[in-house]
């Protein structure tokens, strides 16, 4: 969604409660992931407001790519990321066959998959949806750093 070049599909495996995607969600790289090279850390540091491990931030290059295909940024009169954000909100909150009640885990191509803890909240946060405040609040205390997201290990 939101990327006319890749025409991404989002897949759902109901028995494992897992959603699989490519560019819709950008996770973080675990410290000991062989793909977590210095180049990867530098790239995502510049594209994630200085913190390559913060899964709440959609990388800047992805945001710009979506904006370019939707008429530009909202402040310049375009749709910005509204179309993709609307899709994400529907995906996470709907109760139909492909809704939020059917997945808890996200397998993704960017970062060390899978994202198991707070996956829906992180997906919504990347698209500036309201649950960002929920996961960032001290009362909630969900730690979205790479150290905690990958404490259970890889599948």
Residue 136 pLDDT = 39
pLDDT of the chain, 155 residues: tens digit per residue: 556 666 777 888 889 999 998 888 988 877 777 877 888 888 888 888 888 788 888 888 888 888 887 777 777 777 778 888 888 888 888 776 665 678 899 998 887 779 998 899 899 998 888 543 343 333 443 444 444 443 333 33
**HSE-CB for 44 with a 13 A CA cutoff:** 21
- C-alpha–C-alpha distance, residues 25 and 16, integer Å: 18
Predicted pLDDT of residue 5: 64
pLDDT for residue 97: 62
Q: What is the DSSP secondary-structure string of 77-92?
A: TS-TTHHHHHHHHHHH
> Distance of alpha carbon 97 from its chain centroid, rounded?
21
Identify the residue whose tokens are 């997201």: 149
Written as one string, the DSSP assignment of 98-151 is TSGGG-SEEE-SBSSSPB-TTHHHHHHHHTT-THHHHHHSTTT----SHHHHTT
């Amino acid at each position: 969604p939101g990327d006319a070049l890749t025409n991404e599909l989002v897949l759902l495996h109901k028995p494992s409660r897992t959603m699989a995607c490519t560019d819709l969600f950008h996770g973080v790289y675990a410290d000991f992931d062989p793909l977590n090279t210095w180049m990867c850390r530098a790239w995502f540091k510049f594209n994630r407001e200085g913190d390559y491990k913060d899964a709440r931030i959609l990388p800047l290059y992805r945001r710009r790519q979506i904006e370019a295909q939707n008429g530009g940024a909202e402040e310049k009169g375009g749709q910005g990321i509204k179309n993709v954000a609307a899709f994400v909100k529907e995906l996470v909150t709907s109760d139909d066959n492909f809704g939020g009640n059917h997945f808890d885990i996200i397998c993704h191509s960017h970062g060390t998959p899978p994202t198991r803890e707070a996956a829906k909240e992180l997906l919504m946060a990347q698209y500036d949806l309201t649950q960002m405040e929920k996961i960032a609040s001290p009362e909630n205390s969900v730690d979205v750093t790479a150290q905690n997201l990958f404490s259970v290990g890889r599948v």
